[in-house]
Each structure stands twice: as C-alpha cells, then as structure tokens.
Chains A and B, each alone.
Chain A
Amino acid sequence: MTTTTSGAPVAPASQVSLDAKGLAKVRKVKPYNPEKRRSKLLTALLWLCGLYFVLPILWLVIASTKDNADLFSTFGYWFGAKFSLWENLKDVFTTGNGIYLHWALNTVVYALVSAVGASFLATMAGYAFAKYRFPGAKIMFSVVLGAIMIPLTALALPTYLIFSHFGITNTPIAVIVPSLVSPFGVFLMRVYAADAIPDSMIEAARVDGASEGRIFFQVGLRLLGPGIVTVFLFALVATWNNYFLPLIMLNSSNLYPLTVGLAQQQATSAGGGGSQALFSTVITGSLVSIVPLIVAFLFLQRYWQTGLASGSVKE
C-alpha cells in the first residue's frame, strides 16, 4: 500500500503549479514539430466538449441581460427585447436594502481570513513534518491524514452544538474557525516542502547560526511560495463555495455569505409571495457572485507561472 499511494498524490497538487513554463520548455526540445503533430479531429472534438462547460455559464450571462418578462418569453440563448443588465444589477444591489453587498463582503472576509489562516497553519505544520524528525511526528501525521476522510457533516453538527453551548453560533467566528483546519493542505505542504527545500540549505543556515524560526521564515517560506499559493487556492475555493457550514451556523441574514443568501433568495422567488426577489435578480446575483473567483483563477494561474519561471523552486 505504501508504495502505491506514497509520493504520487504528491505530484498532482504540487505540480499543478509546476507544469507551467519549466516543463513546457523541456518539451520544446523534442525532435518533433508540434505543428505537424496537431490533430484536427481531436482539436474539434475537444472544443466541442468545451461547449458543455461554457454553455450553462453563457446562459447565465445572457439571462442576466433580460427582465423577468423576457426571461419567460424569449429564447434562452438569445437576447430579449430589452437590454436590462443595468437595471438587474441595480436590483441585485438594492433588493432588501442592499443585503447582497453584505453577503458579498461576508463571503470575501470569511474566505480570505479562512484561506490565509488555513494555508499558514498548513504550511508551518507541513514544513515541520517534512523537515524535522521529532518524537510523535509519525503518529500525528497519520492521524491528520486519516482525517481527510472524515465527512464534514459528521463534524458540522457536533461543532454547531458545541458552539451554541458557548454562544458563538451566528457569529463570523463560527464559520471561520472550523475552516482553518485543512488536513489535505498539510499533506500537500509536507510533500511539497520535502522536495522544494534542500536539507543542505537548512544545515547551512544552521551552521551560520540562524534560529529555526528564522530559517523557516527566511529560507522556507521563500522556497515554498508556489506550494503555498496552491494550498491557499484550495482553501479559498472551499470556503468561498461552502454552503453547509454557514447554513447551519448562521441565522441572521446580514451575516450570510453569498451561497446561503442566494439559496434563500431563490427559494423565495420560486415560492412566490408578496415582496419576493424576482428570478432576474437571483440570476444576475448568481452571475455577479461567480465573477470574482473566475477572475482569481485567471490571475492566480499567471502568478503560478511567474513563480515557476523564476526557477527557484526545483533547484
């Protein structure tokens, strides 16, 4: 068992960041002309499949430009009689006294604080597991790994009960603190640190009289950069997209993140009633909520590439 799974899961996550430029360069040395090797059939097939991933989002974009009447009366993949994107956006940010903006800010705060905290904790722990041999390390790491398999729901419920005992449900803490634990992040960092930081460098720093803390902050963190970004991204997406935890922890709607807020808005719009949000508002709100993360993906991808191009990662 050890042989099959050790080392390998390693490659994936840490290499997400590594694939970009360094390896691409190596491949160009191949004796083949890449132009000649292109397959038109495969290209066509893949772009066709690409439609599957884009069409729903394209529908969301087009639907955001319609008012409620056009939504029902015009074809989903073509624009309506009226271009209502601006009105819809205005509705999104003004419905319920601008509650949407609260949700958006909450999401940003919860996700950023959790992701920064989680990646910091995971980086320190992963570094220690990779670069130190200390009593209890093995058993501790095994327990952390086993925890990857624990379903979140099994934890969310008792956590809720414990929190409510201490009166901290319905506060941002209730959403942020449980999100700080990322066993998978520790696993990734351990694997990444084992390769990215040469032992010789740590030894050299020790000989020079650097303290262990200084070695971590000045040598370790610098070399772990791309790995930290990967862990950060995983944690950010996990918290940004989390629905279950805030759903059970929070009940004031001005503490909701976007996921819970939008779900609630959708339920009222589908259920009908007096002052409900319109479909067009929910749809436009959904679109606005996914834009930041998609932009972050594009941006962070570039960040990974520059981090790699500098070549400091793999000796």
Chain B
Amino acid sequence: MTQSVVAPARVRPTSVKPPKKRNANQRRQNRAAYIFVAPFLLVFVLMLLVPLFYSGYLSLFATRLVGGSQFAGLTNYIRAFTDPAFLSGVGRMGLFLIIQVPIMLALALFFALAIDSGRVKGAGAIRLLIFIPYAVPGVVATLMWGYIYGNDFGPISQVFRAIGFAPPDLLSAGTILGSIMNIVTWEFIGYNMIIMYAALRSIPTELYEAAEIDGAGQFRIAWSIKIPAIRPAIMLTVIFSIIGTFQTFNEPSLLHGLAPNVIDNAYTPNYYAYNLAFTNQDVNYAAAIAFLLGIVIAVVSYVVQLSTQRRETKNS
C-alpha cells in the first residue's frame, strides 16, 4: 500500500542561476517546506505514531494478580490465536467481507455507470438521493434501522402482519448479520458511488464516443472502456471497504441493546477490544487484539491488491 500510492515527485526546480545562489534558494525552500509540513507531522507523530507504538508496547505485558504488570512476550498474541471469541469475530468479518462488500461495490458501480451514461432522467437528483445516507451518522442509521427491523412498531413487521404472515425476526441469531450488512450497505453505497462517479467523469469522452459511433452498446462500453479506466478508483473503494469492515463497531454496539442474547461481547474484533479494555479492564490483551486487527487489515488489503495485479498482467 505504502509504495503503491506514492506518485513520483513532480516538482523539479529548474533554475539556471549561479550555483551559490541556487543553494541559498534551495535552503530557503527546504526551510519553508519543513515549516509547512511540521504542524501536521507533529500531530501525526503525537496522535498516531506514539499511540501505535505504545499499543505495541502494552501488548507485550500482562497484568497478574501477584506482581502487577509484567513482561509477557508474545503471550497475549498466542492467547488471541487460540481465543475462540476473537477468532469467531474475525471469521464473521471475513464473511462480511466476501458477501457484503462485493454487493455494495457492485451496486455502487452500477449506479455510478447508470448516472454517468446520461440516460437517466433526473440523474442529478438520484445521485444526491443515493449519497445522502453518507450524511447520516452510523449511530443514527443503526438506531433507525433497528426500529425498522423491530417487532414492536417496525414497518416491516407491520406489513407482514397486515397481509397475514408471521413477521420475520430480523434480529435473531440467524438473521442479524444480514441485517447489519444491510445497514452498512445502505450507509456506504453512496460514498463509494461518488468516488467511482468522479473517476468516470474524468475519462475523456472521446475514448468512448468513437466506440459509440461504431455501434458499441452501452454495456460493452461500460465493460471494455469505462470500468478498466476507473480500475484504480474501484481499487481504492475496495481497500477502504476492507478497512471499514474489520473496524465495524457502531452497529454491534448499538444493536447489542436490542438483541443482547444474539450479539455477544466479541461479535466483531473491534467491539471485543473495546469490551476487553473497558469492561474487563484487560488493557494489555485489548492492545494485542487491536494490534492484530491492524495486521489482519494490512495483510488482507495487500493480498487483494496483489491478486488484482496478477490478473492485470495476465490480461495484458
């Protein structure tokens, strides 16, 4: 990831001044650059790197009843790898990743292509409509959907009852993961669509106008010209979705109140880390879980990038 997104520096000062003066200029410019970067870097180091290393440090200790905090090496990590609660949370998010993310991104891509095709009346309004859930906080979205799913006054149950069927329990052990997938899909289709749509708009129209004149159909154009052209933008949405999925927290934490027996304290790894730290007071183990989660995210993102890369080279 790190290397992949770095574009080569584009700025090469092209001054033809005498060397002495150029050096002075260069020094002046370097100083200015450092001053511009410094405030961000300061906060970056304090709020990102320091906590990250501190977390890694904490994860190597364990608090014992006798003797307090002691160096424990990789004990916490070994415990995590044999902890069924943690593993089932990771597995659940893996399932989420292979079911929800493709559905969400496929729909986002479809909407982006449809709106970009210029064949939809009121495309601007539709685009805004799809984007608006992104403005709704995850907490409010979960709250709202929780009520809609609910048996008391949820409209879904009401409709089922009105036509004489038993209402489905959307917050049961078998269905709640699907219900959460729906909430996340609803929230983030618009966000992903906007990223893809923006990339579509930046494709020069000549590229596919010629194909259109030659009689290529819209699906053909979308498949052979537009989608390959925005592949990097699609990749970006995939990576963001992977990161987002493994960090899922709001939905289980709020739905826990509505379905306490279905959502345990390790429903997602993130929710588990939170409960470990703040309910069980096991900060060291929580730090190890959070750290592992970061590693899982990095590895999955990397593997996904690598596999698409290989497909690309095979195709070309």
Count residues of B near A (Cβ-Cβ below 8 Å): 122
Extra 6 A-B pairs, beta carbons < 8 Å, given A6-B8, A158-B51: A5-B232, A5-B235, A15-B201, A38-B121, A43-B121, A128-B34
A223 CB to nearest B CB, Å:
15
In angstroms, Cα B144 to Cα A289, docked, is 12
Contact B13 A133 (CB under 8 A): yes
Contact A178 B47 (CB under 8 A): yes
Residues of B within 8 A of A267 (CB): 257
B164 CB to nearest A CB, Å:
15
* Among B5, B119, B189, B201, residue most surrounded by chain A Cβ atoms (within 10 Å): B5
Contact B33 A9 (CB under 8 A): no
A159 at the B interface (CB under 8 A): yes
Residues of A within 8 A of B143 (CB): 262-263, 266, 282, 286
Contact for A56 among B5, B107, B144, CB less than 8 A: B144
Residues of B within 8 A of A203 (CB): 13, 15
A87 at the B interface (CB under 8 A): no
Contact B11 A263 (CB under 8 A): no
In angstroms, Cα B36 to Cα A128, docked, is 6
Residues of A within 8 A of B153 (CB): 71-72, 76, 279
Residues of A within 8 A of B123 (CB): 46
| A–B Cβ pairs within 8 angstroms, 27 of them | A1-B4, A5-B235, A6-B4, A6-B8, A7-B7, A7-B232, A9-B235, A39-B119, A43-B120, A46-B120, A47-B122, A49-B107, A53-B130, A57-B136, A59-B148, A75-B155, A124-B37, A134-B30, A147-B44, A149-B1, A154-B55, A154-B293, A154-B294, A162-B50, A177-B43, A263-B139, A294-B135
Contact B277 A148 (CB under 8 A): no
Which applies to chain A's interface (DSSP): helix, strand, loop or mixed? helix
Contact B199 A141 (CB under 8 A): no
In angstroms, Cα B129 to Cα A57, docked, is 11
In angstroms, Cα B231 to Cα A258, docked, is 38
Supposing A150-B48, A237-B135, A286-B143 touch, asked if A23 and B201 sit within 8 A by C-beta, the answer is yes
In angstroms, Cα B140 to Cα A289, docked, is 8
**Residue on B with the closest CB to A248?**
B278
A275 at the B interface (CB under 8 A): no
Interface residues of B in 126-174 (CB under 8 A from A): 126, 128-141, 143-145, 147-148, 152-155, 158, 162
Q: Mark A254-269, 1 if CB is under 8 A from B, else 0.
A: 0000111011001100
Contact A142 B201 (CB under 8 A): no
B197 at the A interface (CB under 8 A): yes
Contact B120 A135 (CB under 8 A): no
In angstroms, Cα B286 to Cα A59, docked, is 39
A250 at the B interface (CB under 8 A): no
Q: Mark B16-54, 1 if CB is under 8 A from A, else 0.
A: 000000000100111011111101110110011011101
